[in-house]
Chains A and B, each alone.
Chain A
Amino acid sequence: MKVSVEMMTAALLLGAIATSAIAFQSGRDPAYQNARESGLVGEKSDGYLGFVVPPSSAVRALVEDINIKRKAVYSKEALANGATVEEMALRTGCRLIAERTVSGEKYQTSSGQWRTRDGTAPELDSRCPQ
């Protein structure tokens, strides 16, 4: 009994370390990572984050802050490549949905519907390069 409790504790500790390691590796704010995992926010097809459910003020602030920062990096990179900010954002959005959402996370199709990532390929915007 005592051994099993110790093992459970060890397993939980390892799990916690692993989770924080993933969060650290991705460089995401834990609150943002948590909002993604719990399906409160998702990736939109236009390259920005969106609210799957009406957000709390904390989640709203978090997402708006990230979207402003995203727009800044899109603008900078768009300028360097002779593209518009919208083109750069859309192209990155294609990649974010296809490559950066994991199973269980939400993404939005170009028609505006929220979907949950599973093992299958996501429904990308028709303009996304294949």
Chain B
Amino acid sequence: MAQNRDQLTNRTDNAIRRHMRKMIFLCAPLVASVLTGCVQVTAPDKPIVINLNIAIRQEILYKLSAASEKVIQENPGVF
């Protein structure tokens, strides 16, 4: 009884192994094509420049006309 069960199990295992071998053989080209399709990331050749001038708001500069005049007039020693 126990021997019979072992034989049955082995037979099933062998069938699965044969099937898997076939599956690996069939899937190999598919896997290869997926691997070659990897996204390539390369570092830029130019340095990354962050423009800090972006913080300057043009409309504010127009409003600061009187303030800049005042600052210069009130602090003669530093200008």
Q: Residues of A with Cβ closer than 8 Å to B?
A: 26-29, 66, 69-70, 73-74, 77, 80-84, 86-88, 90-92, 94-96, 100, 127-129
Report yes or no: A77 in contact with B77, Cβ–Cβ below 8 A.
no
Contact A88 B75 (CB under 8 A): no
User: Which of B44-71 touch A at CB < 8 Å?
Assistant: 52-53, 55-58, 60-65, 67-71
Name B residues whose Cβ lies closer than 8 Å to a Cβ of A.
52-53, 55-58, 60-65, 67-72, 74-79
A129 to chain B, nearest CB (A): 5
Q: In the assembled complex, which residues on chain A have CB atoms less than 8 Å from the CB atom of B58?
A: 127
Docked Cα-Cα span, A127 to B51, in Å, equals 14
Contact assessment for A90 and B61 in the assembled complex, using a CB-CB cutoff below 8 Å: yes
**6 contacting pairs across A/B (C-beta < 8 A):** A69-B75, A73-B71, A81-B60, A81-B64, A91-B61, A100-B79
**Which 8 interchain pairs have the tightest Cβ spacing?**
A27-B76, A91-B64, A92-B68, A69-B78, A91-B68, A27-B77, A95-B68, A83-B60
Residues of B within 8 A of A73 (CB): 71, 74-75, 78
